[in-house]
Chains A and B, each alone.
Chain A
Amino acid sequence: MKLNLKIWRQESKESKGKFVDYSVDNISEEASFLEMLDTLNESLVSKNSVPVAFDHDCREGICGMCSLVINGEPHGPEKATTTCQLHMRHFKDGDTITIEPWRAQAFPVIKDLTTDRSAFDKIMQSGGFVTARTGSAVDANEIPIPKEVADKAMDAAACIGCGACVAACPNASAMLFTGAKVSHLNSLPQGKAEKERRSLLMVQAMDEAGFGGCTNIGACESVCPKSINLDVIAQLNRDYHSSSFKKIMQF
Chain B
Amino acid sequence: MNLDSKIPEGPLSEKWSNHKFNMRLVNPANRRKYHVIVVGSGLAGSSAAASLAEQGYNVSCFCYQDSPRRAHSIAAQGGINAAKNYQNDGDSVQRLFYDTIKGGDYRSREANVYRLAEVSTKIIDQCVSQGVPFAREYGGLLANRSFGGAQVSRTFYARGQTGQQLLLGAYSSLNRQIGLGKVTMYTRHEMLDVVVVGGHAKGIIVRNLVTGEITRHAADCVVLASGGYGNVFYLSTNAQACNVTATYRAYKRGAGFANPCFTQIHPTCIPVHGEDQAKLTLMSESLRNDGRVWVPKSKELAEKIRSGEINPNSIPEEDRDYYLERKYPSFGNLAPRDISSRSAKEVCDEGRGVASTGLGVYLDFRDAIIRDGEQAIRERYGNLFEMYNRITGENPYQTPMMIFPAVHYTMGGLWVDYNLQSTIPGLFVAGEANFSDHGANRLGASALMQGLADGYFVVPYTVGNYLGELGIAEAGFSNTQEDAFEQVEAEVKQRIDQFMNMKGTRSPRSFHKELGQIIWNYCGMSRNQSGLNEAIEKLQKLKKEFWQNVLVVGKAEELNAELERAGRVADFIEFGELMCRDALMREESCGGHFREEHQTNEGEALRNDSDYAFVGVWEYKGEGQIPVLQKEDLAFENVALATRSYK
Contact = CB atoms under 8 A, between A and B. Distances in A.
Interface string A31-71: 11011001100101110111101011111111111000000
A48 B553 contact: yes
Given A81-B390, A130-B130, A137-B122, A50 B239 contact: no
A64 B138 CA distance: 31
A85 B390 contact: yes
B278 A140 contact: no
Interface in A17-35: 27-28, 30-32, 34-35
B140 A154 contact: no
B239 A59 contact: yes
B277 interface: yes
**Residue among A57, A124, A133, A188 with the most chain B CB within 10 A?**
A57
A136 B67 contact: no
B70 A138 contact: no
B66 A184 contact: no
DSSP majority for the A interface?
loop
B172 interface: yes
Contact of A134 (B161, B178, B278, B456): B456
A39 B178 CA distance: 39
A200 B54 CA distance: 24
A30 B72 contact: no
Interface stretch (A111-119, A167-175, A238-246): A111-119
Interface string B342-381: 0000000000000000000000000000000000000000
Contact of B50 (A46, A134, A151): A134
B279 A63 contact: no
A125 B279 contact: no
B54 A134 contact: yes
B387 interface: yes
B129 A190 contact: yes
A134 B128 contact: no
Given A134-B460, A147-B136, A28 B51 contact: no
Contacts of B127: 140
A150 B507 contact: no
A241 B142 CA distance: 33
Contacts of B135: 150, 154
A63 B390 contact: no
Contacts of B75: 58, 60, 62-63
Given A31-B277, A62-B164, A141-B142, A51 B175 contact: no
Contacts of B130: 129-130, 132, 190
Contact of B72 (A57, A110, A117, A153): A57
A63 B185 CA distance: 18
Contacts of B456: 134-135
A36 B137 CA distance: 43
A191 B129 CA distance: 9
A6 to B, nearest CB: 21
B74 interface: yes
B124 interface: yes
A139 interface: yes
A244 B42 CA distance: 35
Contacts of A126: 179
Q: How large is the interface on A (under 10, 10 to 19, 20 to 34, 35 or more residues)?
A: 35 or more
A17 B263 CA distance: 44
A146 B135 CA distance: 10
Contacts of A179: none
Interface stretch (B9-17, B301-309, B426-434, B558-566): B558-566
Contacts of B140: 144-147, 150
A65 B241 CA distance: 12
B133 A154 contact: yes
B84 interface: yes
B640 interface: no
A158 interface: yes
Contacts of A65: 65-66, 70
Given A30-B273, A30-B274, A62-B161, A49 B507 contact: no
Contacts of A64: 67, 69-70
A131 interface: yes
Contacts of A139: 125
Contacts of B145: none
A101 interface: no
Given A28-B273, A63-B74, A150 B134 contact: yes
A197 interface: no
A110 B70 contact: no
Interface in A73-102: 78, 80-81, 85, 87, 89
B176 interface: yes
Contacts of A158: 159, 161, 164
Nearest to A11: B558
B175 A134 contact: no
B155 interface: no
Given A59-B239, A157-B168, A125 B50 contact: no
Contacts of B598: none
A212 interface: no
Contacts of B179: 125-126
A27 B65 CA distance: 28
A190 to B, nearest CB: 5
A87 B279 CA distance: 13
Contacts of A224: none
Contact of B559 (A27, A89, A111, A137): A111
B69 A150 contact: no
B387 to A, nearest CB: 7
A63 B507 contact: no
Contact of B173 (A78, A111, A132, A141): A132
B198 interface: no
**Residue among B134, B239, B282, B551 with the most chain A CB within 10 A?**
B239
Given A31-B277, A124-B175, A190 B240 contact: no
B175 to A, nearest CB: 5
A61 B387 contact: yes
6 contacts: A60-B237, A125-B179, A134-B54, A146-B140, A150-B140, A154-B165
Interface of B: 47, 50-51, 54, 65-72, 74-75, 84, 86, 122, 124-131, 133-142, 158-159, 161, 163-165, 168, 171-173, 175-176, 178-179, 185, 187, 210, 237, 239-241, 273-274, 276-279, 281-282, 386-387, 390-391, 393, 456-457, 460, 507, 509-510, 551, 553-554, 558-559, 561-562
Given A60-B237, A121-B187, A146-B136, 11 more contacts: A38-B509, A44-B553, A45-B551, A48-B553, A49-B553, A134-B460, A139-B125, A140-B124, A140-B134, A141-B141, A147-B136
Sorted nearest first, the 6 A-B pairs with minimum C-beta distance are A144-B140, A129-B172, A137-B129, A125-B179, A137-B125, A30-B273
